Structure 1
Amino acid sequence: MNGTFVFVGNWTIKEGRVEDARKALSEHTDFVEINEPRLISFNFYIDEDTRRVTCVQVHPDADSMATHMQLISKHLSDGVEWMDTTELEQYYGQKSPRLAELLEPWSSPHVPERYLPEHLAGFTRSTVR
């Protein structure tokens, strides 16, 4: 599939587990940085007061996101004990059939999802001038 693919995930951290989440997400980021050279951007943001964390990923295409899902499925097989609830998952860009298949086991009817498949306009810069 052509075109940038963006994922934004929002979670709530269990009471008393913020430090566990910080450590786990830092380790997860290191794993992703080493194993996914095509990924353009991968960032976590946290509001400790509300125990909310958001992940923003920018992939060059849906195939890169599919690779990410394959890798993290194996890497996260021990679970995410720090996570309380998934608040919202957002997907921007056309999902490939492979990506849709890899996302299926992670989907839940109880988690709101926003999916906008068509990229209307815009650009991505890999370096700042």
Structure 2
Amino acid sequence: MSEFVVYLDTSDVRPGKLAELKAAMAELASFVDANEPRIIAYNVYFSGDGTRMSVLNIHPDIASLEFHLKVAGPRFPPIAPLVTLRTIEIFGPVSEGLARQLEGKTQLLGGSVIIRDHHAGFARVPAVPAA
């Protein structure tokens, strides 16, 4: 059975860009919903004061996250002027190719990649059929 992958990125919102960023992220979330049937969850969160944004994705496996970066990746550059990326955290297995893709995203948006290795525990994630 494939191990699910959780992706969390956290960014600072550039001053004066909150409304534009919220609109762009709502559009991106709709695009992901329409074009990525295997993703389990894609959620955007803002701090109460609007200075920080977190994007949380849950994928059934590494292939789903790789597909997300391929399909939604071309939509990231217009968002770059609206944020300063702090971190991308990955919880779960990561291939060398995916690590390179994530490093590419940090080159575009700033920040760093943190990979968290699974130690113990379980998840009750419903099975998602392969596309």
Range class of TM-score, shorter chain: 0.7 to 0.9
State the TM-score, normalizing by the size of structure 1: 0.84
> What is the distance in 1 between the residues matched to 2:8 and 2:81?
20
Identity of aligned residues (%): 23
Kindly report which structure 2 residues correspond to 1:73-88, keeping only aligned pairs within 5 A, or say none: 73-83=73-83, 85-88=84-87
Deviation at 1:79, TM superposition (A): 4.4
Give yes or no for contact 1:44–1:56 (8 Å, CA) kept in 2: yes
Amino acid at match of 1:24: A
Kindly report which structure 2 residues correspond to 1:38-49, keeping only aligned pairs within 5 A, or say none: 38-49=38-49
Give yes or no for contact 2:41–2:56 (8 Å, CA) kept in 1: yes
> What is the distance in 2 between the residues matched to 1:120 and 1:62?
19
Deviation at 1:119, TM superposition (A): 5.2
Give yes or no for contact 1:5–1:59 (8 Å, CA) kept in 2: yes
1:32-74 C-alpha deviation (Å, 9 max, x unpaired): 0001000001101102515100011100011100001111222
Q: Which residue of structure 2 aligns with residue 71 of structure 1?
A: 71
Amino acid at match of 1:25: M
Deviation at 1:2, TM superposition (A): 2.1
Q: Which residue of structure 2 aligns with residue 95 of structure 1?
A: 94
Off by >4 Å, runs of 4+ in structure 1: none
> What is the distance in 2 between the residues matched to 1:89 and 1:101?
13
Amino acid at match of 1:73: G
> What is the distance in 2 between the residues matched to 1:68 and 1:113?
17
> What is the distance in 2 between the residues matched to 1:26 and 1:7?
18
State the TM-score, normalizing by the size of structure 2: 0.83
> What is the distance in 2 between the residues matched to 1:119 and 1:22?
35
Aligned-residue CA RMSD in angstroms? Answer: 2.2
| Unaligned segments of structure 1, at least 5 residues | none
Aligned residues: 125
> What is the distance in 1 between the residues matched to 2:122 and 2:81?
38
> What is the distance in 2 between the residues matched to 1:112 and 1:97?
16
Q: Go from structure 1 to structure 2 and tell me whether the alpha carbon gap of 1:43 and 1:65 turns closer, same or farther (over 3 Å shift).
A: same
